């Protein structure tokens, strides 16, 4: 007995699930992995039959003949109702299984055109990202925390530093020779001691301890590389030359302006708003009533921040607008970072229902690129300068 099945494969367009052969081959590969490794479904004659595209996601419908030579009456997983099975997340991809009438459909001209468009768009975006330096991020491997780096297109992931305790919020120095990060004071058991602010030499792998008892929060280098802003519940600034620091005002998530004259930061309360001040702590003013995790663009024109999605506003607080609606932006792991040309924003998200992965989206909110396929949680990206 044969039964014709249609599989809807939901693939993030221009992301890591598009191999050299484009979405068509990605759909076949995903179905094969699902059928062979997850539910052991016997099948044959996999073909692309339709594909739709809304600008962010591409839906590939593929058909396959189900071979019932093992006595199964349906490939729908045991315990699932007959008809349509729920979406099954696996390896950062989603696709649903449903029976259909007998008969093999062929890919339409529209489908072929969208496949070509998706492949071309993905290749163009990857080409743009390849020229934009490196991204540092944190991730866990084998129960060990570490700081990693990769090319801005997601290729060539390599380890920079690992430790038994949490190593969070990496931040490239302006000359890209060092990475500042937070390291856990008590990596085992009691975690009440907070974090150290450390600096890693990328080439020689030496670590210098700069400040103790720092809050778990993002950090920001001054453009001249001589100071770092951090949070202890207050916004503080430390001199790298002598490790002396001064705390200025209450707040969190500091980000230095490109001209070095101001620091933007978030209110201490969750989503309590975005504020800016001069680097001496004076002239504090509010730019947004709601929001968190602000980051200044390298050209100084815009500020990215979290407000239940990725929002942008002009540096003076005007023209606030949402560019990306992602309700899975990963709270504790959330940190935005701008590309050096101010055209892209990288961030951590759970949108694939798997581990926290790193994505990039252009500043218009139109092109989404998945950069990582990490085996465990990662995030808090920092773009090199």
Exposure string of 84-115, with b = 16+ CB inside 10 Å and e = fewer, is: ebeeeeebbbbbebebeeeeebebeeebeebb
Please tell me the distance from the alpha carbon of residue 340 to that of residue 261, in angstroms, as a whole number. Answer: 19
CB proximity list for 359: less than 8 A, separation 6 or greater = 15, 346, 347, 348, 349, 351, 368, 369, 370, 371
Share of the chain above pLDDT 90, in %: 41
Neighbours of 239 (CB within 10 A): 14
The CATH number of domain 134-383 is 3.40.309.10: no
Q: Out of 107-116, 350-359, 364-373, which region has the weakest mean confidence (pLDDT)?
A: 107-116
pLDDT at 283: 96
Give the start-to-end residue ranges of the domains of the chain: 2-127, 134-383
Positive or negative: CA dihedral 346, 350, 353, 354: positive
More confident residue, 328 or 384: 384
Q: What is the pLDDT of residues 107-133, one digit of tens each?
A: 334 444 544 555 566 667 777 888 889
Is residue 30 over pLDDT 90? no
Q: Would you give the DSSP letter of residue 259? A: T
Please tell me the distance from the alpha carbon of residue 64 to that of residue 204, in angstroms, as a whole number. Answer: 54
339: tokens are: 């590309």
Total number of residues shown for the chain: 385
* Half-sphere exposure at residue 350, Cβ-oriented, CA atoms within 13 angstroms: 13
CA angle 293, 348, 357 (to 5 degrees): 170
pLDDT at 10: 36
């Amino acid at each position: 007995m044969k039964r014709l099945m249609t599989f809807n494969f939901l693939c993030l367009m221009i992301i890591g699930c598009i191999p050299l052969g484009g979405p068509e081959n990605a759909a076949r590969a995903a179905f094969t992995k699902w059928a062979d490794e997850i539910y052991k479904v016997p099948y044959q004659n996999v073909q692309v039959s339709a594909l739709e595209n809304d600008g962010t996601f591409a839906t590939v419908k593929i058909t396959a003949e189900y071979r019932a030579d093992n006595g199964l009456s349906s490939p729908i997983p045991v315990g699932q109702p007959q008809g349509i099975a729920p979406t099954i997340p696996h390896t950062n991809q989603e696709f649903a299984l449903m029976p259909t009438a007998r008969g093999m459909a062929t890919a339409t001209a529209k489908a072929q055109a969208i496949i070509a468009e998706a492949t071309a768009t993905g290749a163009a975006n990857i080409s743009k990202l390849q020229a934009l330096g490196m991204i540092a991020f944190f991730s866990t491997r084998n129960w060990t925390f570490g700081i990693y780096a990769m090319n801005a297109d997601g290729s060539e992931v390599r380890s920079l530093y690992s430790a038994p305790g949490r190593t969070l919020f990496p931040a490239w120095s302006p000359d890209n020779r060092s990475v500042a990060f937070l390291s856990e004071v008590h990596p085992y058991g009691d975690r009440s001691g907070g974090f150290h602010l450390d600096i890693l030499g990328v080439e020689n792998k030496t670590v210098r301890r700069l400040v103790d008892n720092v809050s778990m929060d993002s950090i920001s280098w001054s453009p001249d590389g001589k100071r770092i802003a951090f949070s202890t519940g207050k916004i503080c600034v430390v001199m790298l030359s002598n490790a002396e620091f001064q705390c200025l005002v209450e707040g969190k998530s500091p980000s230095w302006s490109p001209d070095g004259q101001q620091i933007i930061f978030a209110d201490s309360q969750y989503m309590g708003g975005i504020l800016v001040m001069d680097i001496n702590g004076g002239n504090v003013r509010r730019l947004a009533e709601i929001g968190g995790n602000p980051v200044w663009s390298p050209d100084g024109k815009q500020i990215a921040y979290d407000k239940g999605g990725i929002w942008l506003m002009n540096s003076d607080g005007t023209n606030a607008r949402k560019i990306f609606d992602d309700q899975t932006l990963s709270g504790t792991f959330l940190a935005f970072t701008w590309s050096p040309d101010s055209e892209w924003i990288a961030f951590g998200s759970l949108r694939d229902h798997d581990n926290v992965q790193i994505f990039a989206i252009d500043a218009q909110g139109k092109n989404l690129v998945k950069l990582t396929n990490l085996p465990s949680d990662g995030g808090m990206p920092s773009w090199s300068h």
